[in-house]
C-alpha cells in the first residue's frame, strides 16, 4: 500500500487576468495559503511555464522548480490537455478546436497535428528536466462523432480509427519512454479514450506500449453511468494520475446522459465542487491506497454552481481529510507466532 500525496490543485480553471491568478508567484502564494502542497501546471499558459524554454534549458527548469518550491509546493504533473486534443481532430470539429491552436497553424489541420505532436513531445523533455514521472493529457478523437451507432458504423471503421490514433501517438509515446515519463490520458467524454473498452482498444493498437497510462477522474464516469469503483479494480496498474472532481447524475422524464443540448447547469449530468456531488470518495481513496497507486490527489474545479474560490478553499481540506496514511502494520500482529512446520502439519491433520 502507498499513501496518496496531496492535496494539489490543477491551475487551469483558476487562471485569470486579475491578481493573484495572473502570475506564477501570485497563484503559488494563493495555493499555498489554502493548504495545497502541489500544483498541476497547464502548459498552454505561458506565464506559468515557457514550454519551449523548459524543454531546452535545465537552468530554466531548476529556476522554475525553485520558485514553486519556495512556496512549499511541488509540481505534480505538467498538462497538455489542449495540445493533446489537437493530436487527433475529426474535421467536424476543426473550427471549434482551432481555438486551441496558435495562429500559425489555424485552418491547416495537417500543420496543426504536427505542431501538437511536437509540443507534447517537448512536455516530455520538460517533465524529465523537472524530475516528474507522469504527464496529464487528452488523446484527441477521430471517432467521437460515431459514439452512438447511428447511422450504422461500417465494418472496420473503429479499428481504423484506433490504428490512426495510435500511429499519431507512437512517436510521442516513444519520446516519453526515452525521457522516462508516463503519459496519463484523462479518460473523458469527447475523447476516443472515454471508458475502459476504448482505453483497451488504444492500448492494444499501440502494442501495449508501457507509457500508455490513465489519469483517473471519476466525475466523467458518473456522467456515463459507468462503475467508477470497479474501474479501479480493472485498471489500477495503469492509474498514474488522479483528478479529484465531483459530479452528479439526476435524470428526469425530459433528459438523461445525452443532456438535451443544455448548458451545464441544466443537464442531468453535472460537475460539482468536492462534497457537493454524488461520488463516493472514501471508497476511491481506500481503493487507490490499497492498490498502492503512486499518485497526487489533484483537485479540478469545474462546478456549475459554486465559485472557483470557494471550491478551492473547501477542496484542500476535503482532499486532506480523505488521504489515508497507509498502514505498515497488521492489526492482529500481536497474535502472531513463529512459523513451525510440524505445528502446521498437526493443525491440518497431516
Q: What is the pLDDT of residues 323-332, one digit of tens each?
A: 999 988 777 6
Q: How far apart are alpha carbons 250 and 38 in whole angstroms?
A: 33
Output the pLDDT for position 330.
Answer: 74
C-beta of residue 85 within 8 angstroms of C-beta of residue 97: yes
Mean pLDDT of 276-292: 98
Mean pLDDT of 283-292: 98
Residue 243, C-beta contacts closer than 8 angstroms, at least 6 positions apart: 10, 186, 215, 216, 217, 219, 298, 299, 300
Output the pLDDT for position 77.
Answer: 98
Output the pLDDT for position 334.
Answer: 64
- C-alpha R_g of the chain: 22
Output the pLDDT for position 338.
Answer: 77
C-beta of residue 315 within 8 angstroms of C-beta of residue 303: no
pLDDT band at 74; cut points 50, 70, 90: very high
Q: Model confidence over 30-46: pLDDT tens digits? A: 999 999 999 999 999 99
Output the pLDDT for position 328.
Answer: 82
Q: How far apart are alpha carbons 124 and 118 in whole angstroms?
A: 10
pLDDT band at 335; cut points 50, 70, 90: low
Q: What is the per-residue burial (b if ≥16 Cβ within 10 Å, else e) of 56-82?
A: eeeebbeebbeebeebebbbbbbbbbb
Q: Model confidence over 165-184: pLDDT tens digits? A: 999 999 999 999 999 999 99
Which residue has 491547416 as its cell numbers? 108
Residue 337 has pLDDT above 80, yes or no: no
Q: Hey, what domains does the chain have and what are their CATH numbers?
A: 5-348 (3.20.20.150)
What do you get for the CA distance between the two ends of the chain, in Å?
Answer: 35
Residue 107 has pLDDT above 90, yes or no: yes
C-alpha distances out from residue 146 to 64, 108, 158, 160, 194, Å: 43, 23, 9, 13, 13
Q: Model confidence over 58-70: pLDDT tens digits? A: 999 999 999 999 9
Give the three-state DSSP class for 75: strand
DSSP per residue, 80-107: EHHHHHTTSB-GGGHHHHGGGS-GGGTT
pLDDT band at 57; cut points 50, 70, 90: very high
Output the pLDDT for position 186.
Answer: 98
Output the pLDDT for position 339.
Answer: 80
What's the helix, strand, coil split of the chain in %, to 5? Answer: 45, 15, 40
Amino acid at each position: 500500500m502507498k499513501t496518496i500525496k496531496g492535496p494539489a490543485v490543477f491551475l487551469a480553471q483558476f487562471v485569470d487576468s486579475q491578481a493573484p491568478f495572473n502570475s506564477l508567484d501570485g497563484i503559488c502564494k494563493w495555493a499555498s495559503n489554502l493548504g495545497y502542497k502541489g500544483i498541476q501546471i497547464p502548459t498552454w499558459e505561458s506565464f506559468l511555464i515557457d514550454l519551449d524554454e523548459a524543454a531546452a534549458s535545465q537552468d530554466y527548469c531548476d529556476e522554475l522548480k525553485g520558485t514553486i518550491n519556495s512556496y512549499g509546493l511541488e509540481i505534480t504533473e505538467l498538462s497538455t490537455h489542449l495540445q493533446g486534443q489537437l493530436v487527433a481532430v475529426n474535421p467536424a470539429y476543426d473550427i471549434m478546436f482551432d481555438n486551441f491552436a496558435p495562429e500559425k497553424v489555424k485552418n491547416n489541420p495537417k500543420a496543426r497535428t504536427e505542431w501538437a505532436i511536437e509540443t507534447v513531445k517537448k512536455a516530455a523533455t520538460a517533465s524529465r528536466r523537472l524530475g516528474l514521472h507522469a504527464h496529464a493529457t487528452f488523446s484527441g478523437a477521430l471517432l467521437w462523432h460515431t459514439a452512438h451507432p447511428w447511422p450504422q458504423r461500417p465494418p472496420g471503421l473503429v479499428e481504423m480509427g484506433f490504428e490512426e490514433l495510435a500511429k499519431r501517438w507512437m512517436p510521442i509515446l516513444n519520446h516519453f519512454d526515452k525521457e522516462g515519463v508516463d503519459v496519463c490520458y484523462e479518460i473523458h467524454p469527447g475523447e476516443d479514450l472515454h471508458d475502459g473498452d476504448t482505453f483497451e482498444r488504444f492500448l492494444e493498437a499501440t502494442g501495449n506500449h508501457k507509457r500508455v497510462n490513465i489519469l483517473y477522474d471519476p466525475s466523467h464516469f458518473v456522467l456515463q453511468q459507468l462503475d467508477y469503483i470497479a474501474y479501479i479494480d480493472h485498471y489500477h496498474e495503469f492509474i498514474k494520475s488522479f483528478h479529484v472532481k465531483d459530479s452528479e447524475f439526476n435524470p428526469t422524464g425530459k433528459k438523461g446522459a445525452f443532456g438535451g443540448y443544455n448548458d451545464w447547469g441544466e443537464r442531468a449530468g453535472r460537475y460539482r465542487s468536492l462534497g457537493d456531488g454524488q461520488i463516493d470518495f472514501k471508497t476511491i481513496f481506500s481503493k487507490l491506497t490499497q492498490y498502492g497507486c503512486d499518485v497526487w490527489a489533484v483537485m479540478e474545479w469545474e462546478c456549475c454552481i459554486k465559485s472557483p474560490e470557494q471550491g478551492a478553499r473547501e477542496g484542500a481540506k476535503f482532499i486532506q481529510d480523505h488521504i489515508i496514511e497507509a498502514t505498515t502494520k497488521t492489526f492482529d500482529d500481536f497474535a502472531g507466532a513463529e512459523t513451525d512446520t510440524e505445528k502446521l502439519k498437526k493443525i491440518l491433520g497431516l
